[in-house]
Amino acid sequence: MTDFATARRHMVDGQVRTADVTDLRIITAMMDIPREHFLPPASAGLAYLDLDLPVGEGARRLLKPMVLAKLIQAADIGSEDRVLDVGCATGYGAAVLCRLAGQVTAIEQDPGLTQAARTALAGQSNVSVATGRLTAGWAQNGPYDAIVLEGATEIAPQAFLSQLKEGGRLVCVLGSAPAGKAMVYYRTGQELGGRPIFDATAALLPGFAKAPVFAF
């Protein structure tokens, strides 16, 4: 039988702390939250590996712990902040964000994953899980201080500009493997400017692929 508490501690010490994650709120949350509860029972034993783990059908994944932790740290979330979690899958990232933010809106377009997230996050008073198209965000609860895309996008996330507050931050993985970059974007007026923060890869979120280019 897997000793999940020990595996969780090894994950934090070996994958998160060593990746320059210094926000003690993130470290404490990831030490406390049982990641195995956000996976299908048959995959629970894989919960603390340094991998993007499959959930649901298709190519959906939970971000590997290091990438998730560093993205959340880059989002610089305050205790009163309103946060949008795009592509929450089964809700693990939202569970971590709940420990940092004032209010979290988690959006998922796969009905099965939405239900799994609602079940896993039951009892958390500062999170709501919505079903909708990921590329549309969730303007109803905005504008947001921070937006986290839990997966990769091949297109710059300009569509989320209107859902960010002035000075708001958006974090994501931009580009496909093997050349992806974790990015942090900031809203300044009607501009969304970004900069790379570390090399990263992640599964592409539905609707975030570049349109195909046809050559003649």
Q: Which H, E and C letters describe the chain, residue by residue?
A: CCCHHHHHHHHHHHHHHHHCCCCHHHHHHHHHCCHHHHCCHHHHHHCCCCCCEECCCCCCEECCHHHHHHHHHHCCCCCCCEEEEECCCCCHHHHHHHCCCCEEEEEECCHHHHHHHHHHCCCCCCEEEEECCHHHCCHHHCCEEEEEEEEEECCCCHHHHHHEEEEEEEEEEECCCCCCEEEEEEEECCEEEEEEEEECCCCECCCCCCCCCCCC
Domains in the chain with CATH codes: 52-199 (3.40.50.150)
pLDDT tens per residue across span 150-167: 999 999 999 999 999 999
**Amino acid 179: pLDDT:** 80
pLDDT at 193 over 70: yes
pLDDT tens per residue across span 102-138: 999 999 999 999 999 999 999 899 999 999 999 999 9
Average pLDDT of the chain is 94
Full-model pTM: 0.95
